[in-house]
């Protein structure tokens, strides 16, 4: 190699080195781009996390301040309420200086309204206690009472507070006192002892206690009261508000409970993955959002069609009104009831065209009551008028109409056509009355033979006395005294026969019940007299056990006599197998709470256990040939009187049926 060739080799080497270096630099830059991107991404994520954390801290701080102020204002407001109550009590103490019972009653009401008040005391000028409620309790000491009296001398008429004090070694109370305005009475001051822990427990809501540890601390750092539903941990921050006044030197401290910190690495990794998939996820979410919106619109149309079909299929009328009473919606069932189109009703204001023109005043009063928010929960009945002028009965239930924003926008009514039901009830009532009358007739038919026998006695006596009177008149010298005596006896027998016939007549022709105050004694006397021949035929002795001066009961005598006669006949028939010497039917009358109990006790074989629970049902009888309607009718009659018919086994054998009727004065008071 020549010298020239050797000198040109470094130059060629330098020429080849330049492009390689640039290529390496380019590769390094390309390799650094992802690192730079990751670094930038990390910085951005760190900045976002720092910003979010700062905003969260600010939000928590603002929430802490807001909640602390809310709790402080709530406690101050409650103490203000109690101050007003004690001030009013002090004012009453001046007016009722000599009426201790009235003061104690007023104090009980204050304690009942404010359970945190442990006791209320009335102080004398010397510091002694004039009155106290409760009679024993956490009342202030003598030193505290004297301190309160001295403070009130330099304060206005508003209540003053003493220093918090410890009672029973485990709770703090504070004494609030108000001077008595009028010094004519013995008491000069009213003192209310307030339990601070009860004040916090009652007026700090649970959601505050879930988030914070709420404390009242005095100037010496003692915890007067605390409330927290969670176990307090290490508090990160707290807020203190002076609570002086009203509590001297007290501070309200509110501190949030420790919350678990964030996992920063997990957040960073999640953020990096989220950024990488952001575009794809955004497209997918956008597609899903559009699809969900289309599905929601389709579902809404289907739901609207379904709701419309459901409303059209209802037989219950639906009517919606706004707060002014204008109709804003009716369904097809309501339109069919009235025979009009929905367009005719929507927008109508009271008085409505379908109201009964003969009952407008009552209908308008019920309408106004519903709009005032006092709709009866059990519904109410009205008469509506159809388009053709005919009237029909409806039962209406009103409920508040709440819009999508949760606001009360009007009233929604369910309207039921009860015309057929009321007609059926009237027919059932007529059938029941007819059944009762039939039962009386059946009873009279069964007793016809014995009644004929009973009538034969006075009729035979009348014939005998008539013949005797005729003989006396035909005598040469009529004996006027004997003739008068015979005529009087003849008249008595005629009256007896007339009473028997009149009693039977009244019993049979009875239709409409006439419930009114009636004495029990005469009603039972007629029952016993009416059933005497029946019981005598069965060899049954009737015993009446009734105290004197029994109160009157609300009853229809004929209907109640029908019940008692039926029970007496059943009792007499139940003792057919009882030895004749033991056939005694006892009628026992006693006054009970709010009523009078009439018991019919027999000594028969009793009622089989398998039918005792169904004894008052129709067509259930313990007699082989019984229809099973007598006791059912009896119970219906007693319940018509707002009474009760009960059955029980008699100790020693037999059955006791008890008819409990309400006292006359009780029904008058209830009405």
Per-residue confidence at 474, pLDDT binned at 50, 70, 90?
Answer: confident
The Cα 662–Cα 596 span in angstroms is: 6
311 vs 38 pLDDT, higher one: 311
Global model pTM greater than 0.85: no
Across the chain, what does the average pLDDT equal? 75
CATH 3.30.450.20 positions along the chain are 72-256, 314-417
Residue-wise pLDDT tens digits, 14-30: 445 466 677 666 655 65
- Residue that is written with structure tokens 């239709």 in the block: 511
Residue-wise pLDDT tens digits, 116-140: 888 888 777 766 777 778 755 566 7
Question: Cβ of 164: how many Cβ atoms within 10 Å?
Answer: 21
The Cα 59–Cα 47 span in angstroms is: 18
- pLDDT surpasses 60 at 231: no
Helices H / strands E in the chain, number of each:
19, 22
Q: CB of 410 within 8 A of CB of 398?
A: no
- pLDDT surpasses 80 at 508: no
CATH 1.10.287 positions along the chain are 418-511
Summarize the confidence of residues 508-532 as an average pLDDT: 77
Top-level CATH class of 314-417? Answer: alpha beta
- pLDDT surpasses 70 at 591: yes
Top-level CATH class of 72-256? Answer: alpha beta
- pLDDT surpasses 90 at 599: yes
The Cα 368–Cα 366 span in angstroms is: 5
Per-residue confidence at 85, pLDDT binned at 50, 70, 90?
Answer: confident
What whole-number percentage of the chain has pLDDT above 70? 70
What single string gives the DSSP state of each residue in 79-102? Answer: HHHHHHHHHHHHHHHHHTTT-HHH
Q: What are phi and psi of 358, to 5 degrees?
A: -85, -5
Q: CB of 37 within 8 A of CB of 30?
A: no
Residue-wise pLDDT tens digits, 158-213: 677 877 888 877 788 888 888 876 656 676 778 888 888 888 888 888 777 777 88
Residue 669 confidence (pLDDT): 43
Contacts 24+ apart (CB under 8 A), 406-413: 408/323, 409/322, 409/323, 410/320, 410/321, 410/322, 410/323, 410/328, 411/320, 411/321, 411/370, 411/371, 411/375, 412/318, 412/319, 412/320, 413/317, 413/318, 413/319, 413/320, 413/321
The Cα 284–Cα 73 span in angstroms is: 50
Ranges 83-97, 157-171, 220-234, 331-345: which has the least confidence:
220-234
Residue-wise pLDDT tens digits, 345-378: 888 888 888 888 888 888 888 888 888 888 887 7
Ranges 52-56, 379-383, 505-509, 539-543: which has the least confidence:
505-509
CATH architecture of the domain formed by 513-670: 2-Layer Sandwich (3.30)
* E strand or H helix at 371: helix 360-371
- pLDDT surpasses 50 at 260: no
Ranges 85-94, 107-116, 227-236, 288-297: which has the least confidence:
227-236
CATH 3.30.565.10 positions along the chain are 513-670
Where do the DSSP E strands lie in 69-211?
A: 117-123, 129-133, 160-161, 165-167, 171-179, 189-195
- pLDDT surpasses 80 at 10: no
CATH number for 418-511: choose from 1.10.1060, 1.20.1630, 3.90.550, 1.10.287.
Answer: 1.10.287
Per-residue confidence at 49, pLDDT binned at 50, 70, 90?
Answer: low
Residue 79 confidence (pLDDT): 82
- pLDDT surpasses 50 at 564: yes
The Cα 191–Cα 159 span in angstroms is: 9
Q: What are phi and psi of 504, to 5 degrees?
A: -65, -40
Summarize the confidence of residues 79-108 as an average pLDDT: 78
Residue 129 confidence (pLDDT): 76
Summarize the confidence of residues 475-501 as an average pLDDT: 74
Ranges 325-334, 417-426, 456-465: which has the least confidence:
456-465
Helices (H), 476-600: 480-509, 520-530, 532-537, 557-574
Q: What are phi and psi of 139, to 5 degrees?
A: -90, 155
């Amino acid at each position: 190699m020549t010298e020239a060739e050797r000198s040109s080799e470094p130059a060629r080497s330098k020429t080849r080195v330049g492009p390689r270096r640039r290529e390496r630099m380019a590769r390094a830059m390309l390799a650094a781009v992802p690192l730079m991107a990751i670094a930038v991404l990390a910085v951005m994520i760190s900045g976002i996390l720092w910003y979010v954390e700062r905003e969260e801290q600010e939000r928590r701080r603002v929430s802490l301040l807001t909640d602390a102020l809310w709790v402080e204002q709530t406690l101050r407001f409650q103490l203000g309420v109690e101050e007003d109550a004690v001030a009013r009590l002090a004012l009453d103490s001046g007016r009722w200086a000599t009426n201790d019972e009235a003061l104690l009653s007023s104090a009980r009401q204050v304690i009942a309204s404010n359970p945190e008040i442990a006791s209320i005391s009335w102080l004398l000028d010397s510091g002694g206690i004039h009155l106290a409620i409760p009679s024993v309790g956490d009342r202030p000491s003598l030193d505290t009472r004297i301190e309160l009296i001295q403070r009130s001398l330099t304060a206005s008429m508003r209540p003053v507070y003493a220093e918090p004090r410890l009672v029973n070694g485990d709770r703090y109370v504070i004494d609030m006192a108000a001077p008595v305005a009028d010094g004519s009475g013995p008491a000069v001051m009213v003192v209310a002892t307030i339990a601070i822990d009860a004040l916090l427990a009652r007026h700090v809501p649970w959601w505050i206690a879930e988030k914070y540890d709420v404390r009242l601390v005095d100037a010496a750092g003692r915890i007067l009261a605390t409330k927290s539903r969670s176990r307090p941990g290490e508090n990160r921050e707290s807020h203190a508000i002076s609570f002086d006044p009203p509590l001297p030197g007290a501070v309200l401290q509110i501190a949030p409970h420790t919350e678990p910190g964030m996992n920063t690495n997990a957040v960073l990794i999640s953020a990096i993955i989220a950024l990488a998939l952001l575009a794809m996820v955004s497209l997918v979410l956008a597609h899903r959002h559009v699809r969900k919106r289309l599905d929601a619109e389709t579902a809404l149309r289907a739901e609207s069609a379904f709701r419309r079909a459901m409303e059209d299929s209802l037989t219950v009328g639906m009517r919606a009104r706004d707060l002014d009473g204008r109709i804003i919606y009716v369904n097809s069932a309501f339109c069919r009831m009235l025979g009009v189109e929905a367009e005719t009703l929507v927008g109508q204001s009271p008085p409505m065209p379908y109201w009964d023109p003969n009952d407008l005043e009552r209908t308008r009063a019920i309408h106004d009551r519903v709009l005032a928010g006092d709709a009866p929960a059990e519904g109410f009945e009205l008469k509506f008028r159809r388009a053709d002028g005919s009237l029909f009965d409806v039962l209406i239930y009103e409920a508040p109409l709440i819009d999508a924003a949760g606001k009360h926008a009007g009233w929604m009514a369910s309207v039921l056509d009860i015309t057929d039901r009321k007609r059926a009830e009237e027919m059932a009532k007529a059938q029941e009355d007819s059944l009762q009358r039939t039962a009386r007739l059946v009873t009279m038919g069964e007793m016809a033979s014995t009644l004929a026998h009973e009538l034969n006695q006075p009729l035979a006596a009348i014939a005998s006395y008539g013949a005797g009177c005729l003989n006396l008149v035909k005598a040469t010298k009529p004996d006027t005294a004997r003739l008068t005596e015979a005529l009087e006896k003849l008249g008595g027998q005629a009256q007896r026969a007339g009473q028997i016939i009149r009693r039977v007549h009244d019993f049979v022709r009875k239709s409409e019940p006439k419930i009114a105050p009636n004495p029990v004694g005469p009603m039972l006397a007629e029952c016993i007299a009416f059933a005497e021949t029946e019981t005598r035929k069965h060899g049954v002795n009737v015993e009446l056990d009734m105290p004197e001066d029994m109160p009157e009961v609300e009853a229809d005598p004929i209907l109640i006599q029908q019940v008692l006669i039926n029970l007496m006949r059943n009792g007499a028939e139940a003792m057919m197998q009882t030895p004749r010497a033991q056939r005694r039917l006892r009628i026992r009358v006693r006054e009970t709470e709010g009523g009078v109990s009439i018991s019919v006790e027999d000594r028969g074989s009793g009622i089989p256990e398998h039918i005792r629970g169904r004894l008052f049902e129709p067509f259930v009888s313990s007699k082989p040939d019984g229809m099973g309607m007598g006791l059912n009718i009896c119970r219906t009659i007693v319940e018509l009187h707002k009474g009760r018919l009960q059955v029980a086994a008699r100790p020693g054998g037999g059955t006791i049926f008890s008819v409990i009727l309400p006292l006359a004065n009780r029904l008058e008071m209830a009405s």
